[in-house]
Amino acid sequence: MSGAGGITRTRQDIAAGDMPVDTPRLPAREAAESELSKPMYHENDPNFLQRALNQFWDWVAGVFDAAAGAAPGGPAGLAVLVVIVIGLAAALWWRLGTPQRSARNTDALFDSTGPRSAAQHRATAEAHAAALRWTEAVQERMRAIVRSLEERALLDPRPGRTADEAAAEAGRTLPEHTARLRAAARSFDDVTYGGRTADQSAYLSLRTLDLELDEAKPLLPGTSRGATG
């Protein structure tokens, strides 16, 4: 083929569109992004929660790495600082004790309406009993028993005392009534915290105990049981 013929052939090829196309960079990138955005390329990608967790743990690792780099001695120094902080927290906990749930014991025998006399608690108990409200009657009668023992100086007045604690303490000076005091405390706890409902017999049992305790002679320190009769 002559030179002139080759030139003519080349021009024909160009005219026919056989020259390679040079696609601009920006449209090529957009085409690639459009292709990669198809769901088929993301079937195994982590979900949103997994991505958030990964970012969180990466942040935690970065914090520890920064702390290790700033702490004297590197990672070993950071470990020593952590041990010291834990030790200080434990010492503070031991010194101050466990945090109180509230200023008042949630199992306390008396409510927060203010101090009332044994006679007042008895009157309230009788009013509940007359209305057949046996649960409330049992609660008030148990409070009357404990308040009466406090008024007689057989129990030291102590805010936050529970029914069980009062029964155990009263049993030391009134040993012959220990078992019945504990039974009364259980009745109080059952209806107050255990969700049970009292009946007439439960109230009459506490009422009888209250009357007997009012006449009972305490066991004084240094006195044997045989000397109290």
The stretch 88-100 carries a mean pLDDT of: 61
% pLDDT > 70, the chain? 57
pLDDT at 226 over 90: no
Other residues' Cβ atoms within 10 Å of the Cβ of residue 136: 18
Work out the average pLDDT over 39-44. 60
Instruction: List pLDDT tens digits, range 148-188.
Output: 999 999 998 888 889 999 999 999 999 999 999 999 999 99
H helical segments located in the chain: 3-15, 25-36, 48-70, 75-96, 118-130, 134-151, 163-173, 178-192, 200-215
Q: What pLDDT is attached to residue 72?
A: 61
The 8-class DSSP code of residue 43 comes to: T
The number of angstroms, rounded, from the C-alpha of 64 to the middle of its chain's C-alpha atoms is: 29
**Assigned token pair, 182:** 């504990």
CA dihedral 83, 89, 94, 95 (to 10 degrees): 130
Q: What is the pLDDT of residue 212?
A: 94
Of 9-23, 62-76, 137-151, the least confident = 9-23
Positive/negative CA dihedral, 52, 58, 61, 62 = negative
Please name the residue that has the structure tokens 């306390």: 108
As a whole number, the mean pLDDT across the chain is 76
Q: Residue 99 pLDDT more than 90?
A: no
- Three-state DSSP class for residue 17: coil
In whole angstroms, give the CA distance from residue 227 to residue 50.
78
Give the range among 8-12, 39-43, 81-85, 190-194 with minimum mean pLDDT: 8-12
Q: What digits encode the pLDDT tens for the residues 101-117?
A: 443 444 567 765 567 89
The two tokens of residue 83 are 């041990």
For residues 210 and 168, the answer to whether their CB atoms sit within 8 Å is no
How many Cβ atoms sit within 10 Å of the Cβ of residue 140? 25
- Residues 6 or more apart from 19 whose CB is under 8 A from it? 13
Mean pLDDT of 64-73: 64
CA end-to-end span of the chain: 146
Q: Quick one: tokens of 220?
A: 């004084």
| Predicted TM-score of the model (pTM) | 0.52
Please give the structure tokens belonging to residue 66. 């920064």
Per-residue pLDDT at 146 exceeds 70? yes
Answer whether residue 5 shows pLDDT above 70: no
